[in-house]
Amino acid sequence: MEEIQELVALDVETTGLNPAEDRIIEIALIRIKKGNIAENFVTLLNPERSIPPEVSSIHGITDDDIRESPFFRDIATKVIDIINERTILVHNAAFDIPFVKKELNLCGIELSDIKIIDTLAIAREHFFFRKNSLSVIAAHYGIDISGVHRAEADAKITYSVYRKLLEDLQGKK
């Protein structure tokens, strides 16, 4: 597996686990070009509903935090501008991507033909970590996990994990 020269590390925090019912409340899109951050877009979002307390306890985002935040429709074109024709890097694409697609669909935008690198899929296929969560894999590699469960930190951690997984895969050749 070869390192992609330009990609977008993506992470979202949500009001719950079901993209059909829940909404994004924070998104991070970190465009990385040749190993350097070229663009860093992070924002809280108003989901137009309350955040359940049990969900707030995971990421720490409360209704007060998002009350004055933009709606996803206000940032949809920015999201498309950043990810357009770039590979998306994510940990657990089966979670994040359906949320992003749903939010874009609500804005009348279809996200199709996207290239995705999923560090969770790489870990499951090639490695034997005690658990395949982002924090466990990051800790295995000695990557700082402070700020975990916030979109910006998770997107940056995902990129660091990706680099380490690539190094290990190249070492296995």
Q: What is the CATH number of the domain that holds 19?
A: 3.30.420.10
* Distances 36 to 19, 31, 39 between C-alpha atoms, Å: 31, 8, 9
Confidence band for 173, pLDDT divided at 50, 70 and 90: low
Task: Establish if 125 belongs to a structural domain.
Answer: yes
Task: Establish if 26 belongs to a structural domain.
Answer: yes
Average pLDDT over residues 121-135: 95
Q: Quote the domain boundaries for residue 149.
A: 6-171
User: Is 149 assigned a catalytic role?
Assistant: yes
Task: Establish if 136 belongs to a structural domain.
Answer: yes
For the stretch 47-72, pLDDT in tens is 999 999 999 999 999 999 999 999 99
Task: Establish if 1 belongs to a structural domain.
Answer: no
Task: Establish if 14 belongs to a structural domain.
Answer: yes
Task: Establish if 71 belongs to a structural domain.
Answer: yes
**pTM as predicted:** 0.95
Task: Establish if 142 belongs to a structural domain.
Answer: yes
Task: Establish if 82 belongs to a structural domain.
Answer: yes
What is the number of domains present in the chain?
1
What's the CA dihedral at 94, 145, 126, 116 to 10 degrees?
Answer: 40
**Contact criterion met (CB below 8 Å) for 59 and 149:** yes
